[in-house]
A and B are shown apart, each in its own frame.
Chain A
Amino acid sequence: MAKLILSLEGSVIREIPLDKERITIGRRPQNDIQIENLAVSGEHACVVTILNDSFLEDLGSTNGTLVNGNPIKKHILQNNDVVEIGKYKMKYVVEAAAAGQSAQDDFERTMVMKSIPGKPAAPRAAAAPTSPPTGAPRPAAAAVAPPTFTPRPAAAPTSPPTGAPRPAAATPLTSPPRPAAPAAAAQKPAVAEAQPLATLQLLTGPNAGKEIDLVKNLTTLGKPGVQVAVITRRPQGYFITHVEGALFPVLNGKAIDAQARQLNDHDVIELAGVKMEFFLKR
């Protein structure tokens, strides 16, 4: 479950679990989180929690609400966000985020929610797990639900998958090679940004001397309909692949095949009659 850690000038005052759908923050005593300070409005802000998402909303306060230093009207809270109201700070922490990867993985599995018009939310499991899930799955899915929805786990995974082959319905045509370092893939996007910038310098042809920075994830080269290759930027480096045309690109004097080839610093590519050099900028 997520919580807010309320602090003033670095010392923690208390922790507030987000166990209600709506938690209000303000100076008046009827607020769930009361902060007796004149910089805080009577009804200052509220946090609405729906399943795993918590939404912070400023209720038209006089002095505003900041998240990570930026004023907000409405904000979807992310783990470790710091909410500032007057001199008070509240850190938003999702506790289960640190729980085991498997629990996290199970949780991410697609689930169905059923809408039952006119009925209050009543969680109901479709399939009883044959063994209790290990770790601490986030209770939010079962605990707090918006009205008219019944979260319903499609089924609880009972044992580690056995890796059974998939039914023949779908024929996998092209499975990409797995990256050598799966660890690099553990973090979400922006992995490609870690790549050093690379450039192609044209060596021959009318534009000889011109440089092309490879700033996109995909850069196509050549003449459409005649010969085209693509250079892809991936976490593990830059790769060249043939796209279309009867002729394949020539890399350091040798034609490549249909497979993607990793580019090394100072490789020379020949494509549609033009030579170019690949180099990494440091």
Chain B
Amino acid sequence: MINLSSVLEVAIATHPGMVRSHNEDSIAADAEIGLAVLADGMGGYNAGEVASGIAVELIRTEMKKSLSNKSPEELNGQDAEQLIEAHAARANTAIYQASLSQPHYSGMGTTLVVALWHDNQISVGHIGDSRLYRLRGGALEQITRDHSLLQEQIDSGMITKEQARHSQNKNLVTRAVGIDPEVETEVHTYSVQPGDVYLLCSDGLSDMVTDEDVQLTLSSLAANLPLAAQQLVQQANDNGGRDNVSVILVRIAKDYPARAGLLDRVKAWFK
């Protein structure tokens, strides 16, 4: 049975922001199975929050089911990536079907970022412009690369990152969950070090608060994760809060190898 609750410290915060009246973001984190999910929904009426709610709830419950009968050593990076892909695909199908069956859900969709910690590693899958950042040794690094028009313009050399901050096209994503019958999740696995702080966030944070301020907040307040999460949301709102803002913070308290003892490792080697 996987239990990472003594290893992962988790804090979450979500807020509608200063302009919007409802919150279309959905978030969930489960330290025990080492899972964090964040989705930023889009669509008329409350369809946006329906789409992000379906994605987060489905991935949380299904992932828990998939992992409940697994021991830590049964889950390697490849398995974790496959799990993320499979559950993102199910969320896509569920949202797509719902949007076909209900006229007022028509065209709804959501971004998604899913992180799964296992065996001193993190596997992350994402679709759209919700992001994963990592603070390591005081330096903040953006791990995911947005599926957005802006990112494509940056990649093609059309504009610089600095210019991108002033762009009017921040709201155009090139990939989303639930829009088409199928969606491709971008999944990668990275090694984890004790002391790392991971940040999952919606564009309501990354558009409103500079990377420098995020870095300053995380490195100053890593000792009090709930306060750090609250501060990030507050800064986004102080800067205008033009969109819903959601953050999940996960700090790695210590190593968590799947095979702790030497004997285990030798056994695994002979398997």
Contacts and interface: CB of A to CB of B under 8 A. Distances in A.
B134 to A, nearest CB: 19
A218 interface: yes
Contact of A53 (B28, B48, B56, B169): B169
Given A110-B40, A176-B233, A243-B223, A170 B108 contact: no
Interface string A163-188: 11011011111111011001001111
A174 B46 contact: no
Residue of B21, B149, B159 with highest tally of chain A CB at under 10 A: B149
A173 B12 contact: yes
B238 A234 contact: yes
Contacts, number: 222
A53 B223 CA distance: 41
Interface string A107-149: 1111111110000000000110100000000000000000001
A99 interface: no
A76 B159 contact: yes
A149 B173 CA distance: 11
Nearest to B56: A169
Interface stretch (A22-30, A34-42, A83-91, A154-162): A154-162
Interface stretch (A10-18, A199-207, A224-232, A267-275): A224-232
A180 B150 CA distance: 34
A170 B231 contact: no
Residue of A107, A111, A129, A192 with highest tally of chain B CB at under 10 A: A111
A241 interface: yes
B14 A170 contact: yes
B195 interface: no
Given A51-B172, A167-B50, A224 B223 contact: yes
A186 B240 CA distance: 5
A266 interface: no
A173 B235 CA distance: 16
A95 B56 CA distance: 39
A154 B42 contact: yes
Interface of B: 11-15, 18-23, 25-28, 40, 42-50, 52-53, 56-57, 60, 104, 106-109, 111, 128-129, 149, 153, 158-159, 163, 166-176, 179-180, 203, 208, 210, 213, 216-217, 220-221, 223-224, 226-227, 229-231, 233-235, 237-243, 246
Interface of A: 50-53, 55, 76, 78, 94, 105, 107-115, 126-127, 129, 149, 151-164, 166-167, 169-176, 178-179, 182, 185-189, 191-192, 216-218, 220, 224-225, 228, 230, 232, 234-235, 241-244
